[in-house]
Amino acid sequence: MPIENMLRTVEFRKFAYYIFFFGIILPPRMKLKPSINAKFAWQENAQQWFEEHQYATDFVALRLKKNIPAAWIEHLQGKQQVKDKLPSFVKNPLVRFPPSLNLEQSSSERCAIYKASLFKGESFLDMTTGFGIDSFYLAKNFNTAVLIEQNMNLAELVAHNFAVLGCFHVDIEAGEDSISFLKNNHQTFSLIYLDPARRNETGKKTIQFVDCEPDISLHLNLLIQHSDCILLKASPMHDIEQALKELQYLVQEIHIVSLANECKELLFVLRNEINNNPILHAVHLMEHEQSVFSFYKNEELNCVINYSEPQLFLFEPNSSLLKAGAFKSVAANLGLHKLHQHSHLYTANDAMPYFPGRRFSIEGISKVDKKSIHQFLPDGKANITLRNFPSTVADLRKKLDIKDGGEVYIFATTLHDNSKVLIVCKKVN
């Protein structure tokens, strides 16, 4: 369009009007490629300061000191915050870290690497890039990748870090709204990934999809139009059954991911096909290995299991199994007996070296009274766990006069005849 014709358009006149009278300029948007950014490079004096303060913990005190740039403290605090979570990023002195809030929802490297092991293809879209940990590992398995990040400064930081780490085949849509991007784009992707922001406008943490940004339940049709496969990361607190309803039963797989026995992520894999029987993968990530227990939803509903008194060994499922609800499936698949319908503890005469959880040898069974239990505790110490038992650890410890610690483990629980007992155990390595 010739320039004189463009100047006559209604759209241009409106745009000029708003700029002239209100100083309003649309939020900046730009396409970025990974490249070293001078504004994120540290001078020699900054690097020296980081070395001198690498073990700092009191960042309030540091902020009160004069002549320390806020960017230095922000970077150091972010680096300290993720030193165990992102070791590869932390050990590279050229990687720049954002404010703590931008790191809060970031995946750990271990979880990101697990996600990346599930997918590969031609094209990848990350609609909620953030600090880019998941993007970095997932993008490696695709020929092309587009990353969307509304926060311009964070997008520039990601572009800088990706260049530092040698990941150059991505395009970063900076300052872009991901839903608007899809609405104005005809491209289809092999995989679309979303990790919606789980804080509301007041800063309060949220769980339900409707309270997250973007609300995926409102845009499922749009997402399906642009990809045959969608990976959605949700809060580990989200109810799985409720999520299936909100996602219109398009979920094909659910990955419940724990790291060091703490449930970290719920991953939903969606495709444009109704499925009332998704497969669930209870994933337990450890430092150098992982265990995965898989079962179908209907399998858990329909399987029949046996109950018994405690045998030679006791088994406590890991947090992923418990979150997945594999209460009967794990017993049926591994030939275990359950102690009670609601206790979620299992027993067998075999040590079951591949059980997905903690294993204990049973040393004895005690009544719930001080005299009986102390026969098993020469030093008066034990680690106490409650499963389907009407008390708290603190109250029971006080009642039985047991100190914390030692090598003995006590499970206060209910057996299948509804009797309350203390099962005394030692951990099996």
Q: So what's the pLDDT on residue 53?
A: 87
Instruction: Give the per-residue pLDDT at 11.
Output: 47
State the average pLDDT over residues 241-265: 95
Tell me what pLDDT residue 27 has: 59
CA distance 224 to 32: 26
pLDDT at 344: 95
pLDDT of amino acid 386: 97
Task: Work out the pLDDT band at 212, boundaries 50, 70, 90.
Answer: confident
pLDDT digits (tens, 9 = 90+) for 14-51: 444 444 444 445 457 899 999 999 888 888 888 888 88
Whether 217 is in a domain gets the answer no
| pLDDT given at position 102 | 84
Which pLDDT score is estimated for 368?
A: 96
- At 330-341, the pLDDT tens digits run 999 999 999 999
Q: Which pTM value belongs to this model?
A: 0.88
DSSP H stretches of helix in 335-392: 370-373
Q: What is the pLDDT of residue 28?
A: 74
The domain total for the chain is 1
Distance, CA of 106 to CA of 130 (rounded, Å): 7
383 pLDDT above the threshold of 60: yes
**pLDDT tens figures, 387-419:** 999 999 999 999 999 999 999 999 999 999 999
Residue range 117-121: mean pLDDT, rounded:
97
Cβ contact 290:277 at 8 Å: no
230-248 pLDDT per residue, tens: 999 999 999 999 999 999 9
Flag whether 102 is in a domain: no
Q: How many CA atoms lie within 13 A of 131 on its CB side?
A: 24
> Is residue 34 one of the residues assigned to a domain?
no
Edge to edge, the sheet with strand 262-270 lists 30-32, 170-174, 142-149, 121-126, 191-194, 230-234, 262-270, 251-259, 279-285, 290-296
Distance CA(411)–CA(308), nearest Å, equals: 16
Looking at the predicted structure, is the pLDDT value of residue 67 above 90?
no
**Order of strands, edge to edge, in the sheet holding 403-414?**
306-307, 337-338, 346-348, 313-317, 357-366, 420-427, 403-414, 381-387
Is the per-residue pLDDT at 3 higher than 60? no
Domain-located, residue 413 = yes
Asked if residues 320 and 257 have their Cβ atoms less than 8 Å apart, the reply is: yes
Cα 218 from Cα 374, distance rounded (Å):
58
The DSSP element (H or E) to which 266 belongs, if any, is strand 262-270
Q: Is residue 406 assigned to a domain?
A: yes
Q: Is the peptide bond before 28 cis (omega within 30 degrees of 0)?
A: no
| 136-191 residue pLDDT tens | 999 999 999 999 999 999 999 999 999 999 999 999 999 999 999 999 999 999 99
Percentage of the chain lying above the pLDDT 90 cut: 75
Categorize the per-residue pLDDT at 297 as very low, low, confident or very high, splitting at 50, 70 and 90.
Answer: very high
210 in any annotated domain? no
pLDDT in tens, 306-328: 999 999 999 999 999 999 999 99
Is the pLDDT confidence value at 10 over 50? no
Domain annotation covers residue 376? yes
- Give, to the nearest 10 degrees, the angle between helix 70-81 and helix 44-52: 50
> What's the pLDDT score for residue 217?
87
Residue 122 is predicted with a pLDDT of: 97
Q: Are 310 and 349 in contact (CB under 8 A)?
A: no
DSSP readout, 134-154?
HHHHHHTTEEEEEEEES-HHH
- Residue numbers of the domain that contains 364: 309-427
State the average pLDDT for the chain: 90
Residue 375, in any domain of the structure: yes
